[in-house]
Amino acid sequence: MTEAVRAAVELFVNPSRLGMLAVGSGVGLLIGMLPGMGGIVAAAILLPFMLKLEPAAALAMVTGALAVVHTSDTITSVLIGAPGSAAAVPTMMEGHPMARRGEAARALAAAYLSSLVGGLIGALGLTLSIPIARPLVLSFGSPELFMLTVLGVSFAGSLLGKQPVKGLSAGLLGLLLGTVGPAPAAAEVRFAFGQVYLTDGIDLALVALGLFGVAEVVSLMARGGAVAQRTELGHGWWEGVRDVWRHRWLVLRGALIGMWAGVLPAIGATAGTLMAYGHAVATSRDRSRFGKGDVRGIIAPEAANNAVEAGDLVPTLLFGVPGGAPSAMILGALLAYGILPGPRIVTQHLDLIYTVVWSFALANVFGAGVMFAASPLLARLTSVPFHRIAPPIVLAMVLAAYQETQHFGDLVALVALGVVGYALKVTGWPRGPLLIGFVLSNPLERYYFLTVRLHPDPVDWLLRPGVMVIGLLVVAPFAWSAVRWVRARSQGAAPVARQPAGPATVATAAVLAVFAYAWWESRGFLPDAALMPVSVAAAGTVLTALQLVRELGGYGGPVEEEDELAAQDGGAGRRVRRAAGYLLSLVVYVAATYFLGLRWASALWSLWMLRAVARLGWPGSVAYTAAMVLGLELLASVLGVHLPRGRLGL
């Protein structure tokens, strides 16, 4: 503990370290604001400078950046509905509807404050747990890690929405999407359709950007007007602060979930945040507001996502096993300083560990503080007509997508996932369970096979105390729901209104076709590669077939769009047609990028958007587009961001 105090004092009295910390968090905030860009980009930018500094200052800088990238990615998530990272999806699902109601300031304030507190709890937890973290982490064997992934998947159970069958099928669809690429337990690449691009699987950042970001932006464009549909904007900031205080225990629980998801291998940052969200829903009495802008759905995941980054430092520093790419890059930089992560770091470099921990805490206060103060100002963005801000947002998303693997496939995947995301959105398929399924698909399958292979006798692992405790946590909520369901049933259920089969039925049929095809296709896989996709696809086929039959019979239940305000506007059909047009324009945009390169394609798309849709005058449109392309060049030259080049070499 004395080491911890000394490190803190040294950090605070050393102006160069403090300065580097400020620089790092500044860069982190800026990068985090761009949708789809996060820790990897920030670490890549800072790395060359790191090598020129002394170790403690360098660590302060990069920790500062990583501590706040998830703080500022809240902005686009809440204001535009484009999640800044996959971990920001829950914030987007709850915060964006709030922004549409004119409560952007409240949502942002609540998000930043819980982010700040969550980060501090994470740092405190780290300080306390470093001496015991090693034996603790090692006490989780493959069976326990497998059960943790099961627990994670079960959290999707609280996000199923009004139509549990659709929710379950969506979760299965996510699991299936996650099986694309190499099978973890057998030498087989699945569902790649001969495309080398798909042989590593689909990237998580692309799934978040496409399914949620593109879908939301297109839907906003189709709706027209500003994001916020009410005019009074300034209020709510103080309300957000009070929300956090009212739900202070939720903040604590969210932070603890996030921290442990970061500390333990197998779960990962995004799943930790989603689990915190699921936990918030599961433990709330009144769940009717979730998905429509419930502030509790912001508080828990925001408290978790900064704590995840803190927790992630434990395996990185103590075991040399980084939880994500950013921490892996820090690891590489540490090597160049002769600092070897691993068992010896606690005895040899404890002061550095605490420097990291305190930098993390301080950066959190700084980052969240800045954003918190700025949130009333940022909230005003929601009153600008959306068509006018759409071009730079779309460009930023396309650019971010391309940074994933820097192959053209990234852009195709982005738009394809965007089309799917929009279709699911308007036909009432909840995308929350889908994302959880996707994120946990690979760890679930991997740790299942590791468990049964390392412990061939099922009794041997099923009776481990850790497995039984986690198993109980998995089963308990379902048992509770069953009890409630039986009680509600004995009181007599409300009659279901007949709904004619509509466009939603087409979507259900399409999902059924996907499951059925995957089932048929995966029969040919090696047995250990087939188990997961076959069981997922079989369950999905049965469930969606059931749903289809019900819908055709008129008992499918009402299609509820995730956004209550949408229902007020009568012209839903017209809106969907407009959205389809915009999606088509994105397809053309990407095709144009293939030939003309990103610069020219973006310029043309932006000009069309501003002239034909936003109805800006020629001079305005041209100047705006030119400024945007200039910004693009600046990003490319300053940050070293790569721009897709076209076949024509532009």
Partner 1 sequence: MTKRGLCAVVLAVLLVALPAAGQQPYYAGKTIEIIVPFAPGGGSDIDARFFAPFLEKYVPGNPRVLVRNMPGGGSILGANFFAENARADGTQLLVTSGSTMIPYILGVPQVRYDPAKWELIKVNGVGGVLYVSPRTGVRRPEDLARPAERLVYGGISATGLDLVTLLLFEVLGLDVRVVMGFEGRGPARLAFERGETNIDYQTTPAYLSQVVPLVREGKAVPVLSMGFVNEKGVMVRDPSAPDLPSAYEAYQVLFKRKPDGLLRWKAYQSMVAAAFTFQKAMWAPGGTPPEALQALRSAIDRMKLDPQFREQGRQVLEGYEVLRGDTAKAAVLRATRVTLDVKKYITDLLRSKYQVRL
**What is the per-residue binding string for partner 1 in 433-462, x denoting contact by CB under 8 A?**
-------------x--xx--xxx-------
What's the closest the beta carbon of residue 638 comes to partner 1, in angstroms? Answer: 12
What's the closest the beta carbon of residue 141 comes to partner 1, in angstroms? Answer: 5
Query: Which parts of 382-421 interact with partner 1 (CB under 8 A)?
Result: 405-407, 409
Strand locations in 33-186 (E): 181-182
Q: Of 230, 242, 574, 642, which one interacts with partner 1 (CB under 8 A)? A: 642
What's the closest the beta carbon of residue 201 comes to partner 1, in angstroms? Answer: 10
Q: Which one of the spans 62-70, 314-322, 356-364, 553-561 is the region binding partner 1 (CB under 8 A)?
A: 314-322
- The angle at the Cα of 73, spanning 70 to 76, to the nearest 5 degrees, equals 165
- Three-state secondary-structure class, residue 21: helix
**Which residues touch 113 (CB under 8 Å, ≥6 apart)?**
240, 241, 244, 368, 372
What's the closest the beta carbon of residue 266 comes to partner 1, in angstroms? Answer: 8
Cα(237)–Cα(89) distance, rounded to whole angstroms? 22
DSSP H or E segment with residue 189: strand 189-190
Compute φ and ψ for 379, nearest 5 degrees. -60, -25
**What is the per-residue binding string for partner 1 in 101-140, x denoting contact by CB under 8 A?**
------------------------------------xxxx
**What residue type is assigned to position 89 of the chain?**
V
Q: Of 15, 338, 465, 619, which one interacts with partner 1 (CB under 8 A)? A: 338
Under the criterion CB under 8 A, does residue 340 sit at the interface with partner 1?
yes
Taking the least distance from each CB to partner 1, the nearer of 128 and 325 is 325
**Which residues touch 591 (CB under 8 Å, ≥6 apart)?**
none
Q: Which one of the spans 45-53, 288-296, 596-604, 615-623 is the region binding partner 1 (CB under 8 A)?
A: 45-53
- Three-state secondary-structure class, residue 190: strand
Taking the least distance from each CB to partner 1, the nearer of 107 and 147 is 147
Alpha helices in 247-295 (DSSP H): 248-263, 269-282
Q: Which one of the spans 25-33, 47-55, 505-513, 540-548 is the region binding partner 1 (CB under 8 A)?
A: 47-55
Taking the least distance from each CB to partner 1, the nearer of 319 and 608 is 319
Under the criterion CB under 8 A, does residue 51 sit at the interface with partner 1?
yes
Taking the least distance from each CB to partner 1, the nearer of 455 and 611 is 455
Strand partners, 182: 189
Q: Which one of the spans 23-31, 67-75, 336-344, 549-557 is the region binding partner 1 (CB under 8 A)?
A: 336-344
Q: Record the tokens describing residue 230, joined without a space.
A: 């009410």
**What residue type is assigned to position 378 of the chain?**
L
What's the closest the beta carbon of residue 45 comes to partner 1, in angstroms? Answer: 11
With 0-12 / 13-18 / 19 or more C-beta atoms within 10 angstroms meaning exposed / middle / buried, residue 479 is: exposed
String of b and e for 574-591 (b: at least 16 CB within 10 Å)?
ebbebbbebbebbeebbe
Helix-helix angle 409-426:215-223, to 10 degrees: 60
Taking the least distance from each CB to partner 1, the nearer of 138 and 486 is 138
What's the closest the beta carbon of residue 270 comes to partner 1, in angstroms? Answer: 15
Q: Record the tokens describing residue 519, joined without a space.
A: 């089932």
What's the closest the beta carbon of residue 37 comes to partner 1, in angstroms? Answer: 13
Q: Of 18, 44, 416, 580, which one interacts with partner 1 (CB under 8 A)? A: 44
Q: Of 26, 265, 369, 385, which one interacts with partner 1 (CB under 8 A)? A: 265
Under the criterion CB under 8 A, does residue 501 sit at the interface with partner 1?
no
**Which residues touch 540 (CB under 8 Å, ≥6 apart)?**
169, 172, 173, 176, 511, 514, 515, 518
**Which residues touch 297 (CB under 8 Å, ≥6 apart)?**
90, 93, 94, 277, 280, 281, 290, 291
**Which residues touch 478 (CB under 8 Å, ≥6 apart)?**
154, 157
What's the closest the beta carbon of residue 472 comes to partner 1, in angstroms? Answer: 22
Cα(400)–Cα(40) distance, rounded to whole angstroms? 11
Under the criterion CB under 8 A, does residue 636 sit at the interface with partner 1?
no
Taking the least distance from each CB to partner 1, the nearer of 31 and 99 is 31
What's the closest the beta carbon of residue 537 comes to partner 1, in angstroms? Answer: 21
Taking the least distance from each CB to partner 1, the nearer of 329 and 504 is 329
Taking the least distance from each CB to partner 1, the nearer of 332 and 573 is 332
- Three-state secondary-structure class, residue 469: helix
What's the closest the beta carbon of residue 268 comes to partner 1, in angstroms? Answer: 10
Q: Which one of the spans 116-124, 180-188, 229-237, 595-603 is the region binding partner 1 (CB under 8 A)?
A: 180-188
Taking the least distance from each CB to partner 1, the nearer of 197 and 608 is 197
Q: Of 270, 284, 305, 327, which one interacts with partner 1 (CB under 8 A)? A: 327
Taking the least distance from each CB to partner 1, the nearer of 157 and 443 is 443
The CA distances from residue 229 to 167, 352, 358, in Å, are 29, 50, 42
Residue with tokens 């139509």: 163
Residues that bind partner 1 (CB under 8 A): 40, 43-44, 47-48, 51, 137-142, 182, 184-188, 196-197, 199-200, 265, 319-322, 324-329, 331-332, 335-338, 340-344, 405-407, 409, 446, 449-450, 453-455, 526, 528, 640, 642
